[in-house]
Each structure stands twice: as structure tokens, then as C-alpha cells.
Amino acid sequence: MPLATVNGIALNYQVKGDRTKGTDVAGGGPLVVLIMGTGSPGRVWDLHQVPALVAAGYRVCTFDNRGIAPSFESAAGIRIDDLVADTAALIEFLGEGPAFVVGTSMGARVAQELALVRPDLVRKAVYMAGHARLDQFQKTLSLGEQDLDKAGVQLPAKFEAAMTAVMNLSPATMADAGAARDWLDVFEFTVGPTSPGIRAQRSMDHEFDRRAAYRGIKVASLAIGFADDRMIPPYLSREVAEAIPGAQYQEIPDAGHFGYLERPEVVNKILLDFFAA
């Protein structure tokens, strides 16, 4: 990925298109910008969403949010406004807006705020596991993660893998012995020390309620909830759709917080149908 200097920081990004369709060059197709959630790099989108979007004739931009190296880690602290300004500056840097914007979890919140403050940059927006507020469980969980970070505690890899699976996957996935084994192996393999940038992302403000503010969003919007999501339960995603005038809501069954990885065919079809409508 190349590094772009935007909003005064370095962002690691890439743009992909289909050479046979001419979308590998700027302006060769509509731009889709994908915004990842807390602690994850932009390349996670490459597993399922990028190939489907590129095959459908879109140019797709993925990037590492502030906090994820080699983008600027911002170890001293991160605010949601920083992430929104970074994303807006990246779209302006690419010069291909307005773009279709898709975010998941923290990335959904970035997309929501971007649609509110910079509608000129957003053609349509999709918020997966979006939320206008957090309930007491998410707040308590976040504070617990921050306490672990401050104490420098590293959980045993197998235990951390199991907890990641419980919190992010559907019981339907875990009931499949082969799928459960594969996911747990992946999670265990990727366990490692938490970087300063990820700690900064985890320490972002969690005392917010943007339901009233989102009534001001005029961009065509779709909120997606994952039925078995324990991190951001679907009622919080539904609240986003209810707050935004004219917004749509779809809920995907048998999917947890990583629903875009568990049920990629369903997610991709929803994205493509919404963009084309």
C-alpha cells in the first residue's frame, strides 16, 4: 500500500480496480471507500468485499485507520473527529468523490459522522454494526479492555482466541466443528501484543449519544445489523436507521460482529443492490 499525507498525517491506503473493465485507472468506475473497525487493518476487506466490488465494476479504496501502523498511530490519543477528518481528506486526495462509503463497527461510526458533516463527499453510505450510542455492556467491556492494556496483561493465546470467537462470531458458526476449529486457529495465530495505536483506538470516548444529531443526515443510508452480534447488538444498529430520515435497515441472521466475514455473500449482495438502486 502507498502512504498518503492527508489531514497532516500518513495514511496507508490502496485502490483496486479491474483492468479488463478499465476501472484500474482513476475515474474508471465509481469509488467505494471501506472503513474498518477497531484494531483491524484495511486489508481485512480484501478477503471478500474488495473482490466482489471490483468484479462488479467499482474502484475500491481500503486503508489503515489512524492507530493502525504503518498509518500514523496517534498513540497520544484518538478522537472520532480525527478519524472522520482523515477519511474526508483521503477521499479529497483521491479526487474521485463523492464516493460510496461503507464502514463496520467503529468504521460505521466514522461513516455516519462523515455523512453528517461532509455529505458532499458521500454518494451513499452503509453502516454495518453501526451505532449512535453504546449500552452499558459495551462501555463496561471497553473499560475492562483499557484496564488490561494499562496493566500490560497478555492473555493466553488459546483463551484470547476463544473469547474473540465468542464475542464476534455467531453461535451458528461455532456449532460447525470445522468452521469453529478454523476460526479459533486463525484467532490464536493472530494473537499478539496490543500496539500503542490500537490502545489509543480502544481508549476513544464511549460516552456519546448521537441519535438526535443523525436526524440531520441527508445522504441515502443503509444500516446493517448482525442478528447474533454481541459487540454491537442489532437493536443499536436499528436505532441508527430510525434516527436517519429515509434510512433503510437490514438484519442478517446467523451472523455475529464479523458478519461481513461469516456471511460475505449476503453482505456483498446487499451492498451491490443498495449501490445500484
Taking every pair of Cα atoms in the chain, the longest distance, rounded to a whole number of angstroms, is 52
Q: Which listed residue (40, 71, 74, 105) is catalytic?
A: 105
**In the sheet that 220-226 helps form, which strands lie side by side, from edge to edge?**
3-6, 9-16, 59-63, 31-35, 99-104, 122-128, 220-226, 248-252
Q: What number of other Cβ atoms are within 10 A of residue 94's Cβ? A: 18
- Smallest CA-to-CA distance from 41 within 201, 267, 158, 263 is with 201
Active site residue 170: no
Active site residue 221: no
C-alpha cell at 116: 453528517
C-alpha cell at 46: 480484501
Instruction: Answer positive or negative: Cα dihedral of 65, 71, 73, 74.
Output: negative
Enumerate the H helices of the chain as residue ranges.
49-55, 80-94, 106-117, 136-151, 157-168, 171-174, 177-190, 196-202, 234-243, 259-262, 264-276
Active site residue 105: yes
Sort 156 into a burial class: Cβ within 10 Å, 0-12 / 13-18 / 19+: exposed
C-alpha cell at 265: 455473500
Residues 165 and 173: their CA atoms lie apart, in Å, by 9
Sort 177 into a burial class: Cβ within 10 Å, 0-12 / 13-18 / 19+: exposed
Residue with cell 441527508: 218
Q: Which listed residue (18, 170, 221, 257) is catalytic?
A: 257
Q: Which listed residue (86, 228, 229, 237) is catalytic?
A: 229
Cβ contact 131:108 at 8 Å? yes
Known catalytic residues?
Answer: 105, 229, 257
